[in-house]
Structure 1
Amino acid sequence: MARNMSPDEYQELGRRYYKLKQYDKAVEAFTQGIEAFPTVSLYDHRAATYDKLEDFNAAIKDGRDMIRLDKKNVKGYLRTASVLEKIKKPETALGIYKYGMKNVPVGENNFELLQQLHNKLTRKLSPAQAIDPFTVLPIELAEMVLEYISFRHMVNCMRVSRGWRDYLSQRPKLWLHLDLSGARKPVPRSFVNMAFKRSESRMTRVTVHRFEHMDMLKNLAKAAKHLTELEFISVPHTMSSTLVDIVKSGPSLRKFVVHPEITLNTATTIVSNRPGFEQVTLNGVKFSNYQAVWQGPFPDMKTFTMQLVDSMSAYQISLTDLLSQAPSLESITLSNLSNLNEPMGWPEDLAQLPPLTSIVLKRVFCTFIPVLPPTLQKLVIEHNGMRLLDGIKASLLRARVPELTHLTLSGFSALSADRLDEFLDSCVVEGSVLELRDAKPLKYLTIRGLLRNGDGDTGLFKGPGSLLGRSPRILTRALETLDIATMPCNDDEIEHLLTYETGLTSIDLSCTNITGASLKMLADKLPTLKTIKADNCPKINGRDAIHYAERKGISVSCQMGEQKGSRRIRYA
Structure 2
Amino acid sequence: MSSADTRAVQLQREGQVAYRNKDYTKAIKLFSQALEIPRTTTAMQLHILDNRAAAKEKVGNEVSLKGALADARQMIKLQKTYVNGYLRTGKILQLQGCHQNALNLYKYGLEKLEPSDENGKELLEKMYEKVHARVEPPKAKMVDMMTVLPVELLDMIIQYIPFPSLILAQGVSKSWRNFLINSSKTYVELDFSSAKKPLSRSTVMLAAQRTQNNVRKAVFNRLEFRGVQPLIHLATLNPGLTELQLLGYEQPLPVVDIVKHTENLRKLIIKSAVRTQVISQILAQCRSLECFECFDVDHMGFRGWTFENKSNLKRLYLRIVKEEYQPSDQMLPALVAHLPELRELEVSEYGPRQTDQLDLTAAPHLTVLRLRKVAITVLPLLPRTIKHLTLARLPNLSIVPDDILKSPLPALQELDLSYNPNIRKNTLLLLLDSVSPRKLVLDMCPRLDFGTVDWLLPCGSKLEELSVVGNSTFGDSVSKEMAGFKMLKRLDIGNTKITGIGLLNLIRMSQKEGSGGGLQYVGCDMCEGVGHDAVHVARKMGVVVSHRMLTEYGGKKVRYSE
Under a length normalisation based on structure 2, what TM-score does the superposition of the two structures give? 0.71
Aligned letter for 1:379?
A: L
Cα separation, 2, equivalents of 1:347 and 1:215: 41
SS of alignment partner, residue 231 of structure 2: helix
* Structure 2 residue 370 is the aligned partner of structure 1 residue 360: yes
* Structure 2 residue 325 is the aligned partner of structure 1 residue 335: no
* Structure 2 residue 532 is the aligned partner of structure 1 residue 532: no
Corresponding residue number in structure 2 for 1:36: none
Cα contact 2:457–2:484 (8 A) shared by 1: no
Among residues 483, 486, 495, which one is paired with 1:501 in the alignment? 486
Aligned letter for 1:501?
A: K
Cα offsets for 1:259-286 (capped at 9, x unmatched): 1233334334433433432111001113
Corresponding residue number in structure 1 for 2:550: 561
Residue 15 to residue 245, structure 1, CA distance change in 2 (3 Å):
farther
Cα separation, 1, equivalents of 2:102 and 2:533: 43
Corresponding residue number in structure 2 for 1:100: none
Cα contact 2:302–2:327 (8 A) shared by 1: no
Cα offsets for 1:38-82 (capped at 9, x unmatched): xxx99xxxxx99x98999xxxxxxxxxxxxxxxxxxxxxxxxx97
Corresponding residue number in structure 1 for 2:337: 324
Aligned letter for 2:504?
A: K
Q: How is 1:213-292 mapped onto 2 (pairs within 5 angstroms)?
A: 213=225, 214-235=228-249, 238-240=251-253, 242-288=254-300, 291=303
Greater radius of gyration (CA): 2
Cα contact 2:377–2:396 (8 A) shared by 1: yes
Residue 571 to residue 322, structure 1, CA distance change in 2 (3 Å):
closer
- The alpha-carbon deviation at position 134 of structure 1 amounts to 3.4
- The alpha-carbon deviation at position 303 of structure 1 amounts to 0.6
SS of alignment partner, residue 156 of structure 1: helix
Corresponding residue number in structure 2 for 1:201: 213
Q: How is 1:97-496 mapped onto 2 (pairs within 5 angstroms)?
A: 124=136, 127-213=139-225, 214-235=228-249, 238-240=251-253, 242-288=254-300, 291=303, 293-310=305-322, 315=328, 318-337=331-350, 342-343=355-356, 346-347=358-359, 350=361, 352-386=362-396, 388=398, 392-425=400-433, 436=434, 441-452=436-447, 458-459=449-450, 461-463=452-454, 466=455, 468-471=456-459, 474=460, 476=461, 478-487=462-471, 488-496=473-481
Cα separation, 2, equivalents of 1:261 and 1:513: 44
Cα offsets for 1:187-240 (capped at 9, x unmatched): 3444433333333223232211233342211232233322222110134x5244
Corresponding residue number in structure 2 for 1:513: 497
SS of alignment partner, residue 308 of structure 1: strand
Cα separation, 1, equivalents of 2:44 and 2:392: 86
Aligned letter for 2:256?
A: V
Aligned letter for 2:394?
A: N
- The alpha-carbon deviation at position 301 of structure 1 amounts to 0.7
- The alpha-carbon deviation at position 377 of structure 1 amounts to 1.2
- The alpha-carbon deviation at position 306 of structure 1 amounts to 0.3
Cα offsets for 1:7-66 (capped at 9, x unmatched): xxxxxxx99999977789899999xxxxxxxxxx99xxxxx99x98999xxxxxxxxxxx
Cα offsets for 1:319-369 (capped at 9, x unmatched): 1111111110000000012578645x7227x3x233101001111232222
Cα contact 1:264–1:288 (8 A) shared by 2: yes
Cα separation, 2, equivalents of 1:16 and 1:332: 99
Aligned length: 461
- The alpha-carbon deviation at position 405 of structure 1 amounts to 1.2
Residue 340 to residue 248, structure 1, CA distance change in 2 (3 Å):
farther
Cα separation, 1, equivalents of 2:330 and 2:317: 13
Cα separation, 2, equivalents of 1:233 and 1:387: 33
Aligned letter for 2:242?
A: T
- Structure 1 runs not aligned, ≥5 long: 1-13, 31-40, 43-47, 56-80, 88-92, 94-112, 426-435
Cα contact 1:17–1:23 (8 A) shared by 2: no
Cα separation, 2, equivalents of 1:545 and 1:528: 18
Aligned letter for 2:501?
A: A
SS of alignment partner, residue 283 of structure 2: helix
Cα contact 2:547–2:561 (8 A) shared by 1: yes
Cα separation, 2, equivalents of 1:530 and 1:85: 54
Corresponding residue number in structure 2 for 1:101: none
Cα contact 2:243–2:265 (8 A) shared by 1: yes
- Structure 2 runs not aligned, ≥5 long: 1-41, 50-69, 94-98, 108-124, 512-516
Residue 189 to residue 537, structure 1, CA distance change in 2 (3 Å):
same
Residue 450 to residue 299, structure 1, CA distance change in 2 (3 Å):
closer
SS of alignment partner, residue 458 of structure 2: coil
Cα separation, 2, equivalents of 1:285 and 1:267: 9
Residue 300 to residue 567, structure 1, CA distance change in 2 (3 Å):
closer
Aligned letter for 1:181?
A: S
- The alpha-carbon deviation at position 294 of structure 1 amounts to 4.3
Aligned letter for 2:467?
A: D
- The alpha-carbon deviation at position 508 of structure 1 amounts to 1.3
Cα offsets for 1:358-387 (capped at 9, x unmatched): 001111232222112111111111133236
Residue 29 to residue 372, structure 1, CA distance change in 2 (3 Å):
farther
Corresponding residue number in structure 2 for 1:552: 541
- The alpha-carbon deviation at position 470 of structure 1 amounts to 3.5
- The alpha-carbon deviation at position 175 of structure 1 amounts to 1.3
Cα separation, 2, equivalents of 1:52 and 1:127: 25
Aligned letter for 2:255?
A: L
Residue 245 to residue 317, structure 1, CA distance change in 2 (3 Å):
farther
Aligned letter for 1:499?
A: G
Cα separation, 1, equivalents of 2:504 and 2:392: 31
Corresponding residue number in structure 2 for 1:11: none
Cα contact 1:491–1:518 (8 A) shared by 2: yes
Cα contact 1:264–1:292 (8 A) shared by 2: no
Cα contact 1:275–1:296 (8 A) shared by 2: no
Cα separation, 1, equivalents of 2:546 and 2:45: 63
Cα contact 1:462–1:496 (8 A) shared by 2: yes
Residue 357 to residue 141, structure 1, CA distance change in 2 (3 Å):
farther
SS of alignment partner, residue 538 of structure 2: helix
Residue 151 to residue 569, structure 1, CA distance change in 2 (3 Å):
closer
SS of alignment partner, residue 427 of structure 2: helix
Cα offsets for 1:542-572 (capped at 9, x unmatched): 2111111222232222111244747636362
SS of alignment partner, residue 185 of structure 2: helix
- Over aligned residue pairs, what C-alpha RMSD do you find? 4.1
**How many percent of aligned residue pairs carry the same amino acid?**
23
Residue 303 to residue 289, structure 1, CA distance change in 2 (3 Å):
closer
Cα separation, 2, equivalents of 1:15 and 1:424: 100
